[in-house]
Chains A and B, each alone.
Chain A
Amino acid sequence: MLDLSHVTSGYGRTLIVRDVSLTVQRGEIAAIVGRNGVGKTTLMKTIIGLLPTAQGAITLDGEEITKRSADARARGGIGYVPQGRGIFPGLTVEENLEMGKLINRQGGSERSLDVAYAYFPRLAERKTQRAGSLSGGEQSMLAIGRVIVGQPQLMLLDEPSEGLQPNLVQQIGDDLKRINQDLGTTILFVEQNIELIMNLAQRGYVMDKGQVVRQLDHHEITNQESLVSHLAV
């Protein structure tokens, strides 16, 4: 579904991601793991189009999207939950969810928001509350809910566990698995939290110094010792 072929990117002349090739199949949950500063977030921003691709090609469903703008990629079916959740704190919960409707290929209707409320009933209770006043866990729910309102084919998440206490990390992992199974949303996420990786990922890639240095199959990515060794690359 998503193919990266020898992708190199970065900030201006400073290249962070170098010659990365990876594939995500339709309907699967794949992880990109690695220590801080190895280029995981840069890679996510390159896939969504917030950073230009210096070399290589990105294809979605066989169609090359390398030169497309971020908004065009979003409308093409890629939903993005950025690091730090990226909600709009000055808007209400409901208004944040409305923002996600634009990428809905069915056009988005009044009922589009119900998908988010079904997975995260807490959001329905807080729909008129300012998003900036939500707790960290609720903000995570909102960030994910806002993306599923658009019913993307592919959801990218950048460190969804960041700033969450362990029981909420488990909860977010379970929610994402349900979304993947119920809605068929393909998920690619960047993470350092071993519990979440083991709970959620079906396979993965290890990044180091801006490159993919290893692929992890299902056995390796659900094995704690294996993961610890790779995160300490």
Chain B
Amino acid sequence: MPRRTSWLSAENIAFVIFLIFMIVYPFRTDDFGILNAAYFAALTLLALSLSMIWGKAGILSFGQTAFFGIGGYLYGIYTLNVLGSAQTWVGLAVGMLAGGIVAAILGWFMFYGGVNDVFVGLTTLALTLVLQTFMAQTAGPEWTVGEARLNGYNGMYIPQLSFGEMPLYGRPLYFVYLAILIGVYLLLRWLSSTRWGYGLLALQENRPRTESFGYNVRLMQVQVFALAGVVAALSGVLYASWGGYIDPSSMGLTAAITPVIYVAIGGRRSLTASMISSMILLKLSQLLASSAPEYALVIFGLLALLAVLFVPEGFVVALFNLIDRHLLNRGGGNLPGMTAPVEEVTANG
């Protein structure tokens, strides 16, 4: 479905500024800063996956961290068993595929079984916690897959993505991660602007109504759930490769809720807002972790509460709308579904 609106919007301008900043940043900081930024890029993919499933399709999932963990672990299991630098990239694909397949199977049972709304949140949270609990008890030597020892909370040590014999490190690592983040972002934005993407927005507003226009709503829900699972798994692969390590804490309750908070604060309906907000909040989280770790989650919780109560569309989206309305004269909310739902008018005339 073609969009006929102008490209000059606060959201697009923000994306261009963000991109320029991210390209320039590694030349203005030290190695630690570069590695940190790559870590943020990997985790921001998780926010994008949530923005797609929650913001575009209205499906609140706490299972993205489960797919994240599946991606990371499967990448590790593959690369520890099939040696060779080229195999790390095959491992990346295996991790993504595993996340997508698990999400598709779970999505199939949920959506074709009539599970919707808050029950999806509960089911996906249960999946995350079950996976975490399962992985936590794999410390014993019997829990090995070929050469890969799962190792419970001791963690699994994993080969890093590499070109030739050289593992990715420093600026090359950062730019590969940034390219993947931007590529996924652009792909998801393009998908959101297709007829399928508009169907997602419509089913978020009213499923039966969308069905009556010829959309196979359940299939679309499974598709978007699987797609978000692939993106979350990709995030897990990049995270595992970045640190060369993964353990079950990456699938815990805090890990499941954190991306939800990041996306809610930024604005779940906008991929750009979710991406920018995630990068900023990850940085803030790190700063707070060193200066006031006990307050970090409290501050994020407070921000999320303020967003829900006073700025339900999210702080970054509210800023986009403000700029659109007052500086660009666009009337605000140029992206579909970016404004809060408007009550249907039933008055005469």
Please list the residues of chain A having a beta carbon within 8 angstroms of any beta carbon in chain B: 48-50, 69-71, 74-75, 80, 82, 84-92, 94-95, 98-103, 110, 128, 130-137, 139, 146, 150, 163-165, 168
Contact = CB atoms under 8 A, between A and B. Distances in A.
Interface of B: 1-2, 4-5, 195, 198-199, 201-202, 205-206, 208-217, 333, 336-337, 339, 341-349
B114 to A, nearest CB: 12
Contacts, number: 118
* 4 tightest Cβ-Cβ pairs between the two chains A and B: A132-B342, A74-B214, A165-B348, A102-B214
A130 B2 CA distance: 17
Nearest to A130: B342
B198 A91 contact: yes
Given A50-B208, A71-B214, A98 B336 contact: no
A99 B341 contact: no
B215 A86 contact: no
Given A99-B199, A133-B342, A163 B348 contact: yes
Contact of A128 (B5, B211, B215): B5
Residue of B336, B344, B346 with highest tally of chain A CB at under 10 A: B344
Contacts of A91: 198, 201-202, 205, 336-337
A75 B2 CA distance: 21
Given A98-B1, A136-B348, A90 B341 contact: yes
B212 A80 contact: yes
Contacts of B4: 94, 128
A139 B346 CA distance: 9
A176 B144 CA distance: 69
28 contacts: A70-B212, A74-B214, A80-B212, A84-B344, A86-B209, A88-B209, A89-B342, A89-B344, A90-B336, A90-B341, A91-B201, A95-B198, A95-B336, A98-B198, A99-B199, A101-B1, A101-B195, A102-B215, A128-B5, A130-B333, A130-B342, A132-B341, A136-B348, A137-B348, A150-B213, A150-B214, A163-B346, A165-B348
Contacts of B349: 135-137, 164-165, 168
Contact of A135 (B201, B209, B210, B345): B345
Contact of B211 (A69, A84, A90): A69
Q: Give the interface SS of chain B, mostly helix, strand, loop or mixed.
A: loop
A168 B214 CA distance: 29
A92 B336 contact: yes
Contacts of B202: 88, 91, 99
Contacts of A92: 336
A91 B216 CA distance: 19
Given A74-B212, A101-B195, A90 B339 contact: yes
A126 to B, nearest CB: 12
B214 A136 contact: no
A99 B198 contact: yes
B318 to A, nearest CB: 16
Contact of A50 (B211, B215, B333, B336): B211
Contacts of A139: 344-345
B211 A70 contact: yes
Contacts of B1: 95, 98, 101
